[in-house]
Amino acid sequence: MPVALSGAQIFDGWTIRPGVLILDGERIEGIADKVPANATEVRLEGGVLAPGLVDLQVNGGAGLMISGQTTQRDLAAICDAHARLGATSMLPTLITDNPEATGRLIGTAIASKDLPGFLGLHLEGPHLDPRRKGAHEASLIRSMTDEDLERLCRAAQILPCLMVTLAPEATTTKQIETLCAAGVIVSLGHSDCSHEQALDAINAGASCATHLFNAMSQIAGREPGLAGTALTTDIACGLIADGIHVHPKVMALALAAKTERVFLVSDAMAPAGTDQNAFDLGGRRILRCEGRLTLENGTLAGADLTLPRAIQVLVDQVGVPLERALAMATRNPADVVGRSDLGRFTTDARADCVHLSSELEVKAVWRRGKRFV
């Protein structure tokens, strides 16, 4: 029997409008004007009903970090933790590590392809620029080898999605072309590249920029850097909208310059979904305090952020219309990974939904048509 979700405004992926969302098993049947006679009604108390949020950069959650030791059970726990926070689809993200750890995680991910909420993998490094390492371990950063290239291309053929963050200066344009031809989503980040180097990478197939403005060459009067190149080309840009990684005024400038293809990421770490106030990352202590995650020297190390909170920041501090902010956490990231069945309420899309209050707090979550929260 179909389920009819009523009582909230509906964001369909583009606009907010009145209506009743009809779920038919694991799929969306459509949006109706009233509850059908053959449906079971679930009445919501105001707010907005949106497609399940999509997070393409999740380093951890439920007290766990993504690593070479991550198990299928760990992945399930992390996916579940983020689903409770509104993100029903995610890319677990491994930051710079050694080849053995990367290979083990790829094997675990391949065995976890059918896990609810699991979209694939995001490998953030190790092919980065140590000058823009951020919290990545400098001793593990290295240029891409033929063996690395073969491993990534092979994984891309098996995983539902593989995103790789790399620096143009740690790879060649031929390697980028090969990765893209194999189906890898190449994202530029942790890079001190010039405008010309960034353009060469984009022309080779790179289609994203990782956490815009963070760990990348900046805009200057005579050199756009990676940040300026990302804003003035058609590549997609991830944004950590916590008001800490990027100032609200700078976010406003960026969103005025780039009106499409910006998507929100949480860049969440192990504490997501817990009250944990510190954890270890590669033998280094990460502290959680006042909405920040930092190394003991103050370097930002991921974010203490959820996607609903990022939407709140965009609306309240940046002045972004709610429809645009919601699209940046639903349809935009789904489009980046080529998932037209996610991030929108179209017929036969996956029945992932999040009910947000008028204060944009998570009130309920459905994953694959079943109430999860």
267 flagged as catalytic: yes
The per-residue DSSP string of 39-108 comes to: SEEEE--SSEEEEPEEEEEE-EETTEE-STT--HHHHHHHHHHHHHTTEEEEEEEEES--HHHHHHHHHH
Q: Which is nearest to 236 in space by CA: 54, 37, 18, 9?
A: 54
Amino acid at 84: R
The residue annotated as part of the active site, out of 267, 304, 335, 352, is: 267
Q: Which is nearest to 166 in space by CA: 138, 195, 125, 202?
A: 125
| Helix 99-111 vs helix 146-158: crossing angle, to nearest 10 | 10
> 86 to each of 90, 93, 130, 170, 248, how far by Cα in Å?
11, 18, 34, 35, 23
Q: How far apart are CA 97 and CA 189, in angstroms?
A: 16
Q: Could you tell me which residues come within 8 angstroms of residue 372 by beta carbon, excluding any fewer than 6 positions away?
A: 83, 84, 88, 365, 366
Beta bridge partners of 208: 187, 236
| Helix 146-158 vs helix 173-181: crossing angle, to nearest 10 | 20
> 156 to each of 92, 99, 103, 257, 299, how far by Cα in Å?
15, 16, 13, 32, 32
Q: Which is nearest to 333 in space by CA: 262, 279, 271, 275?
A: 262
Amino acid at 305: L
Q: Could you tell me which residues come within 8 angstroms of residue 161 by beta carbon, excluding any fewer than 6 positions away?
A: 91, 119, 120, 121, 185, 337, 338, 339
Could you tell me the end-to-end alpha-carbon distance of the chain, in angstroms, rounded to an integer? 21
Q: Are 235 and 30 in contact (CB under 8 A)?
A: no
Lookup: tokens for 137: 């371990």
Enumerate the active-site residues. 267
